[in-house]
Structure 1
């Protein structure tokens, strides 16, 4: 029966985007048999708790999230937890599944919201969760349309959803104003419904992918409002690994995180140096953005042997969602004001490397930084070198040319400091507040640092051993390997291969489950 349903589903999803990849996954239905047959209790560990845990997957077509969520659910069940997966069944006006390229026009979204996407999304989620034999709760059961008072939490989730939907980084935009109301309604409805769900089902712990958008950000808000523990997670860079955090999204928690900066032994140092070298082409990553041609090592001929600053951008909308404002209004303002400062200083050189994910990311930007630069500087000075997102020049090949690194929120700050390059952080990057970077508290202080650079002052670079210790912490302790997930080279990029003996075979999953149940730190 299940096989017939899956085959019928494969035919149905042929009508939808990504159908070819989804169809391949559905045809591999056999790998779900492991879940259907994994209800044995022989591996139970005696724990003093029987927590009730709500996993807020919600978006049925987010198979990447579902892959890990079902593994978490089965592992938690084997620890005597009562686990529910919460799925949306078409009641939200807008959600994370909504992206502008999925609609024929903006007016279609304004009129219908997420409705045109719901049918396929609900079917996908239902088939995979039912095959895994996990108890599923549906959002409609808890919706109360009379609760429509919007709060600041709803606005934050809605803003994040709107930035992502439009793939732009500014609210001062007619499109933003047109789209935001749908996400506000969706966020408000989701938060209220999840608060009701938590109360009615007596939930102790809420687990949410990302913890930012609608409805996952709404779930975090609901849990906080009711004083419940929150765990969030996201897929990390190293292949087969995940980032988990307590209380809020990993993107925010990493900024203030304290870490053990103990000196690495030779084996650990070799391990992190080997990995950092592989980051150039992303050979050990499952999140990679660059299009690097290792046979092409030539850098732009215009790069001169003068005092050089290397400015690395983020994707504009992503920077707004993950990091927000700091001493500048946003990343674009920081980039343009920095270019303006260097324009009038021809003895200095500024290389601007625009993030490759502007075109290779899951949600390509509609707000490209090269266009913003052209609008502001139609006649760019010769000492400003722009390397576009589609360039096959490796970002890492630019490091030896740089006397100073300038970043807003990019995680490449980890690699800059590990390379010994003095780095100024103008936004809210993860490398900030670790004692490895220059972290100005105002625009005045930021440009004062640049003035010292102009005067020929040589900034003391970060202690490389300490920078490598943080890189090791970030890439090998915080990024937890899960062998119960098999990375695959096509959508959804992750396939669950849950083993009932996971306590013995998957130490990373043990670490995560202990963190969820007991509140232990998520470090491997």
Structure 2
């Protein structure tokens, strides 16, 4: 099958004339790509742009044109501290902007540049601002006109390093100040921009970090309807969230969005089959364990682990990931693990198996602050009833937790999967399974202690509660997760997704039902949920 590839981005010049007649619709939509170097996001947003254009919307983009001293594109793996601190990220910036603008221009869409909405003297003055005497806390809490520029800078810096504690990095304060200045510049740009240009809707990738997080906050303050989006777990799929980020939307979503789904056998088989496929990840965008080991008895034997006692599982998050996305929990993720281990030191009647997230050692973004190493710092010798499974151990997480009496989670979506298979889950952070009346929700240290004191639990999830858990899992993976047919995989390439050559035929004939739904909901300023059950 031939595909629209160009060099690395879709070659829109060859296909832009393939639309049938386009209706006229009085709807102006901004696609706030902002950081053109995020190529998978750019491919996705050009796809969304053409879907919206096919329905008559006026589409515009905005891009940073090399004026920010730091942004979401810069990470320590691709832009080291020396380059960041010496202001030598110009090569990264030039490629980021020029390639993205050329691709957008080829579709005939208007692109706004950051530099048009801020004076060079303002940029110079901001870059000369001295924050050396500010503490970390002062910088993180720094606000201008109630815009949390310091918080956005903080989340971006955690992501840059891949850590949850900036104290572990020698130059982190200097990098944090770079991101703070980028946040301040972004604030001025977006406020001036939105005071000049008026939009019915803004589509923003992630809605976090710098500059996207700044725009999300400003647009919200101005009452502009926004949709943020994230890549979902399945291939070619997305999460969309109304006026907030996905991570907040997931645990705050009204249960009325899903609890009245009619769970027939077709739907139940659909979710059961997908959850089973997660063991190998063959339907998913990322595979964390390439060749899972399912020999669980041998694994326990090699680790001299006594399985005669009830086993309680614990699934960690990436440390930096949990702080950025779920900072309002009663414990941060390191404190949570620390507290849990100290508790189980006294519970010799129970086993605790801590599964460190395999993503800690991903090649494209390895964590520089790993949970297993944090545990080793505080607990030199753990007793026989506590087993820590490192992130690079190939034992299947699913097989491991299958042996458990119950599993404790923080914010991982693993809670959605486990409850749908009947495994009781205790959720201590703001993960998507929270507030669904399925898991055991914990909101304070006192509540957590009481829940732990009641372990082991007497039974698995079953009956109507199990049906409820399957219903939510189906909603999460097939209705909030929206899979688009118009994409294909570019293995071992970047961007890793491309757009099929039949896109315009598909748009003209409304063949990609998910893409049609996305565009229609954006136009109507409505929350995007795909009614998968209507198309089975």
TM-score w.r.t. the length of structure 1 is 0.89
Residues 469 and 295 from structure 1, CA distance in 2 versus in 1: closer, same or farther, beyond 3 angstroms? closer
Q: Is the 8 A contact 1:191 1:221 kept in 2?
A: no
Residue 332 in structure 1 maps to residue 328 in structure 2: no
In structure 2, the residue matched to 1:8 is none
Residues 480 and 221 from structure 1, CA distance in 2 versus in 1: closer, same or farther, beyond 3 angstroms? same
Q: How much does 1:515 deviate?
A: 1.4
Residue 518 in structure 1 maps to residue 524 in structure 2: yes
Which segment drifts farther, 144-153 or 232-241?
A: 144-153
Q: Is the 8 A contact 1:308 1:351 kept in 2?
A: yes
Q: How much does 1:30 deviate?
A: 7.0
In structure 2, the residue matched to 1:475 is 477
Q: Is the 8 A contact 2:29 2:203 kept in 1?
A: yes
Residues 264 and 457 from structure 1, CA distance in 2 versus in 1: closer, same or farther, beyond 3 angstroms? closer
Residues 25 and 507 from structure 1, CA distance in 2 versus in 1: closer, same or farther, beyond 3 angstroms? closer
Distance in 2, Cα, partners of 1:279 & 1:32: 35
Q: How much does 1:103 deviate?
A: 3.1
Distance in 2, Cα, partners of 1:66 & 1:239: 17
In structure 1, the residue matched to 2:264 is 265
Q: Is the 8 A contact 1:206 1:219 kept in 2?
A: no
Distance in 1, Cα, partners of 2:480 & 2:425: 22
* Aligned equivalent of 2:349, options 335, 347, 350: 347
Structure 2, unaligned stretches of length 5 or more?
Answer: 127-142, 531-536
Which segment drifts farther, 264-273 or 120-129?
A: 120-129
In structure 1, the residue matched to 2:276 is 277
Q: Is the 8 A contact 2:201 2:525 kept in 1?
A: no
In structure 2, the residue matched to 1:496 is 499
Q: How much does 1:80 deviate?
A: 2.1
Distance in 2, Cα, partners of 1:323 & 1:440: 14
Residues 41 and 188 from structure 1, CA distance in 2 versus in 1: closer, same or farther, beyond 3 angstroms? farther
Structure 1, unaligned stretches of length 5 or more?
Answer: 1-23
Distance in 2, Cα, partners of 1:361 & 1:28: 21
Q: Is the 8 A contact 1:43 1:500 kept in 2?
A: no
Residues 141 and 444 from structure 1, CA distance in 2 versus in 1: closer, same or farther, beyond 3 angstroms? same
In structure 1, the residue matched to 2:172 is 176
Distance in 2, Cα, partners of 1:374 & 1:167: 19
Residues 35 and 228 from structure 1, CA distance in 2 versus in 1: closer, same or farther, beyond 3 angstroms? farther
In structure 1, the residue matched to 2:66 is 90
Residues 360 and 202 from structure 1, CA distance in 2 versus in 1: closer, same or farther, beyond 3 angstroms? same
In structure 2, the residue matched to 1:255 is 251
- Residue by residue, what CA displacement relative to the aligned partner does 1:7-35 show, whole Å, maximum 9, x if unpaired? xxxxxxxxxxxxxxxxx965366743454
TM-score w.r.t. the length of structure 2 is 0.87
Q: How much does 1:288 deviate?
A: 2.7
What are the within-5 Å matches in structure 2 for residues 98-113 of structure 1?
98-104=74-80, 106-112=81-87
Distance in 2, Cα, partners of 1:93 & 1:238: 34
Distance in 1, Cα, partners of 2:364 & 2:74: 13
Q: How much does 1:171 deviate?
A: 4.1
Distance in 1, Cα, partners of 2:386 & 2:147: 41
Which segment drifts farther, 116-125 or 279-288?
A: 116-125
In structure 2, the residue matched to 1:291 is 290
In structure 1, the residue matched to 2:450 is 448
Q: Is the 8 A contact 1:164 1:363 kept in 2?
A: no
What are the within-5 Å matches in structure 2 for residues 106-121 of structure 1?
106-112=81-87, 114-121=89-96
Q: How much does 1:287 deviate?
A: 2.6
CA RMSD of aligned residues (A): 2.2
Distance in 1, Cα, partners of 2:310 & 2:505: 58
In structure 1, the residue matched to 2:28 is 52
Residue 161 in structure 1 maps to residue 160 in structure 2: no
- Residue by residue, what CA displacement relative to the aligned partner does 1:117-148 show, whole Å, maximum 9, x if unpaired? 21221232123222333221111111246496
* Aligned equivalent of 2:116, options 131, 141, 164: 141
SS in 1 for 2:86: helix
